Amino acid sequence: MARKSTLALAIIAIVGWTFWLIASTYPATLEDKIDSLEAELNSVKGAYNKLLEENSKLVEENSLLKEENSKLKEDYAKLNQNYSRLKVMYKDLTLEFEKLKDFKSKYERLRSEYKQLKVNYSKLSALRDDYKKLKEEYEKLEEILRKGEAIATSAEWVSEDKRLKITSELVPVFWFGELDRYKVRVTVTNIGNEPLEKVWIFIFPYIGDELCEWSSYYHLATVENLYMGESYTHEFDYLPKEITSYKVLALPGVS
């Protein structure tokens, strides 16, 4: 209200000053002066009305700004509250992350142990398979021994599974013209259609019906990776001169 009064006084002052300036500078008739003053007054009224409109707009904008400011305060309060909650959540997540790092370390260790167990288990499975095969071959060997099939001083035959051809030869060894011992030369040949990972060669020397003292060091030989058509020869040395017969057995196996 005070602003409107001030504005009215300003307008009256401007009108008075204008009237005085016209009267002192440009002599004219009273009617012309009145017309001029009315025109000036109308112009001032128009400016005043524009000022009132602008003032009304400013008041309305100020009201809107107050509402927006109030909303911003509410939003800030919510954001501040959310920020406090997020700080607590961040602290909790930090603790969980530390636990997760410890869990990851344990997981990697257990994963490594699990891989090693899988490797050990696969080896154990292979050993079980090898044991089963060797057991079957051993049972066949026992059956052969029970039959008492001795190999002559020079012989050739094919294994039961048709994968090996075996030849053996009894060779006497003399020392100063006297018989000192025997050795047996055994040759195995892969006659199958696939490589043999390993071949076991056994010899069993006999004196009469009794098997001589048997040792895997002297009476067992192995050959690995025997390919198709390939042969391998091994000599079993230091067989006693008292032997009366011997048996040879060749078995394909695995490493």
For each of the chain's 255 residues, which pLDDT tens digit applies? 545 555 555 666 565 555 555 555 545 577 777 877 778 778 887 887 888 888 888 888 888 888 888 888 888 888 878 888 888 888 877 777 777 777 777 778 878 888 887 777 777 777 777 778 767 766 665 554 444 344 457 888 888 889 999 999 998 888 887 888 899 999 999 999 999 999 999 999 998 889 988 888 889 999 999 999 999 999 999 899 888 889 999 998 765
Amino acid identity of 79? L
Three-state DSSP class for residue 97: helix
The whole-angstrom separation of Cα 206 and Cα 213 is 9
Same structural domain, 103 and 163: no
Same structural domain, 158 and 96: no
Do the domain assignments include residue 237? yes
Token duo for residue 219: 């009476």
Domain count, the chain: 2
Same structural domain, 248 and 160: yes
Token duo for residue 35: 């017309």
> Domain boundary at 76, 108, 140, which?
108
Same structural domain, 1 and 100: yes
Same structural domain, 184 and 99: no
Do the domain assignments include residue 102? yes
Question: Which H or E element spans position 186?
Answer: strand 178-190
User: What's the CATH number where 245 sits?
Assistant: 2.60.40
Do the domain assignments include residue 218? yes
Same structural domain, 104 and 182: no
End-to-end CA distance of the chain: 111
pLDDT of residue 138: 63
Do the domain assignments include residue 249? yes
pLDDT of residue 203: 93
The whole-angstrom separation of Cα 6 and Cα 8 is 5
Same structural domain, 85 and 157: no
Do the domain assignments include residue 113? no
Same structural domain, 189 and 245: yes
Give the Å distances, CA to CA, from 45 to 4, 34, 57, 115.
13, 16, 18, 96
The whole-angstrom separation of Cα 209 and Cα 214 is 14
Residues spanned by the domain of 187: 150-253
Same structural domain, 103 and 159: no
Do the domain assignments include residue 127? no
> Domain boundary at 108, 130, 161, which?
108
The whole-angstrom separation of Cα 40 and Cα 45 is 9
Do the domain assignments include residue 42? yes
Do the domain assignments include residue 163? yes
pLDDT of residue 52: 80
pTM above 0.85, yes or no: no
Same structural domain, 8 and 103: yes
Three-state DSSP class for residue 58: helix
> Domain boundary at 108, 131, 158, which?
108
pLDDT of residue 188: 96
Number of neighbours of residue 251 by Cβ within 10 angstroms: 22
